[in-house]
C-alpha cells in the first residue's frame, strides 16, 4: 500500500484570468475547485495511474468535510484525523501570464492529534510506501518528519520526503529513500541563485552525504536528474510541449517515480516516468491522467 501524508490539506480555488491587474476588478474566464495539498496531489496522480493508495492528514471544520467529500466522490481512500477546532485552508491560485498563489494559514495540530497519526503510521507494514509532502503548521517543530522516519526505521518501508528548508535537512538525518528538491528549493537550502545542472549535481551529492539515499532534482524544462544510492547519476530531458500550469508538476513527478519504481524496480524507468508525469502535469490545466503521462512516456527514447 502507498500512503501519502499531508499535514495541511486545503481546498484549492483556481481562477484562470487572461491578464491580472492588481488594484482593479479582474474577471476569471474559468474556475476550478480541487482538494489541495502536495500529498493529495501525489495520491490523485497515483489513483489515475491505477496505484491503490491511502490519503493521510488532518482536516477541520466544514472545509475539511468538503475536502473529504470531494476525494471520496472521486474514489479516493482517506484516513484523515479530524481536528477539534479550526478550519482547513482555502487557497486561491490565479493562473494568468504568471501564476500567483494566496495560501491561508493551517489550523493548529495538538499532541493528541499527533498521537492519532502515530497510531495510523504504526499500522504500516513491510513493503509499504510513505510519502510525506509539503510543510507542517507553524506550531510543529522542524524535526517533525525526522520523528516519523525514526518511528518507522525498524520496518522495510520506502519513505519519500518532498519538502524543503530545515524540515528537509532534519529529515536527512534519518535516511529517507528519496527526496525531490527543485531548483528554487536548492537555492533556499544553499543560499544561492541561478542553479545550473552542474550546480544541481554538486548539491545532490551534498544532500546524499547528509543522509538522503536517492536524490531526485526537478529541473523544469530541462527535465530531471537522479543521484542513486550507488552513486550513479541519471538524467532525462523533459518532453517538449506548451506549459499551461506548472502548479502540481513536482507532485506528479513524485507519483510518476513511485509508479515506475513499483512497476520495474529500475531507477532509470522510475526517472523516465517521473519526468513524463511532471511534464504532462505542466502541459495541462489540472493534474494529468495516466493516458497523458504514458503518451509522453512512449515518445521518450530508452
Kindly report, residue by residue over 33-69, the tens digit of the pLDDT.
989 999 999 999 999 999 999 999 999 999 999 999 9
Q: Mean pLDDT throughout 87-105? A: 90
Catalytically active residues are 251
Question: Mean pLDDT across the stretch 251-280?
Answer: 96
Nearest to 102 by CA among 6, 10, 237, 204: 10
Region of residue 57 (phi > 0: left; psi between -120 and 50: alpha; otherwise: beta): left
Buried b (16+ CB within 10 A) or exposed e, 121-152: beebeeebbbbbbbbbeeebeebbbbebbeeb
Q: What are phi and psi of 126, to 5 degrees?
A: -55, 135
Q: Which residues contact 118 (CB under 8 A, 6 or more apart)?
A: 151
- The pLDDT of residue 95 is above 90: no
Per-residue pLDDT band at 220 (split at 50, 70, 90): confident
Spatial distance between the Cα atoms of 156 and 95, rounded to a whole number of angstroms = 41
- What residues are paired with 5 via a beta bridge? 56, 132
pLDDT at 229: 96
279, 263, 224, 148: CA torsion to nearest 10:
110
pLDDT score at 97: 85
Note the Cα 191 to chain centre separation in Å. 22
Asked whether residue 133 carries a pLDDT value surpassing 80, the answer given is yes
Averaged pLDDT score across all residues of the chain: 94
Determine how many CB atoms are found less than 10 A away from the CB of residue 2.
22
pTM: 0.92
pLDDT (tens digit per residue) in 63-80:
999 999 999 999 999 999
Look up residue 247 and give its three cell numbers: 502548479
Share of the chain above pLDDT 70, in %: 100
Is residue 285's pLDDT more than 80? no
Amino acid at each position: 500500500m502507498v500512503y501519502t501524508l499531508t499535514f495541511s490539506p486545503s481546498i484549492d480555488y483556481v481562477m484562470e484570468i487572461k491578464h491580472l491587474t492588481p488594484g482593479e476588478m479582474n474577471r476569471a474566464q474559468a474556475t476550478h475547485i480541487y482538494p489541495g495539498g502536495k500529498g493529495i496531489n501525489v495520491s490523485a496522480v497515483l489513483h489515475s495511474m491505477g496505484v491503490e493508495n491511502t490519503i493521510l492528514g488532518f482536516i477541520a471544520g466544514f472545509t475539511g468535510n468538503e475536502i473529504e467529500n470531494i476525494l471520496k466522490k472521486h474514489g479516493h481512500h482517506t484516513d484523515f484525523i479530524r481536528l477539534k477546532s479550526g478550519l482547513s485552508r482555502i487557497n486561491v491560485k490565479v493562473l494568468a501570464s504568471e501564476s500567483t498563489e494566496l495560501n491561508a494559514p493551517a489550523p493548529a495540530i495538538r499532541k493528541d492529534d499527533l498521537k492519532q497519526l502515530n497510531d495510523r503510521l504504526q499500522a504500516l507494514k513491510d513493503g509499504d510506501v510513505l510519502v510525506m509532502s509539503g510543510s507542517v503548521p507553524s506550531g510543529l517543530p522542524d524535526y517533525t518528519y525526522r520523528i516519523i522516519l525514526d518511528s518507522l526505521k525498524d520496518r522495510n518501508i520506502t519513505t519519500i520526503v518532498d519538502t524543503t528548508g530545515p524540515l528537509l535537512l532534519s529529515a536527512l538525518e534519518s535516511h529517507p529513500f528519496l527526496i525531490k528538491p527543485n531548483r528554487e528549493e536548492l537555492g533556499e537550502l544553499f543560499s544561492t541563485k541561478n542553479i545550473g545542472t552542474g550546480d544541481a549535481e554538486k548539491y545532490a551529492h551534498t544532500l546524499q552525504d547528509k543522509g538522503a539515499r536517492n536524490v531526485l532534482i526537478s529541473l523544469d524544462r530541462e527535465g530531471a536528474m537522479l543521484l542513486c544510492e550507488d552513486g550513479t547519476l541519471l538524467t532525462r530531458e523533459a518532453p517538449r510541449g506548451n506549459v499551461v500550469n506548472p502548479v502540481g508538476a513536482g507532485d506528479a513527478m513524485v507519483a510518476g517515480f513511485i509508479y515506475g519504481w513499483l512497476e520495474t524496480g529500475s531507477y532509470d524507468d522510475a526517472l523516465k516516468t517521473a519526468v513524463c508525469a511532471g511534464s504532462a502535469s505542466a502541459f495541462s490545466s489540472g493534474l494529468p491522467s495516466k493516458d497523458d503521462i504514458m503518451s509522453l512516456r512512449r515518445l521518450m527514447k530508452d
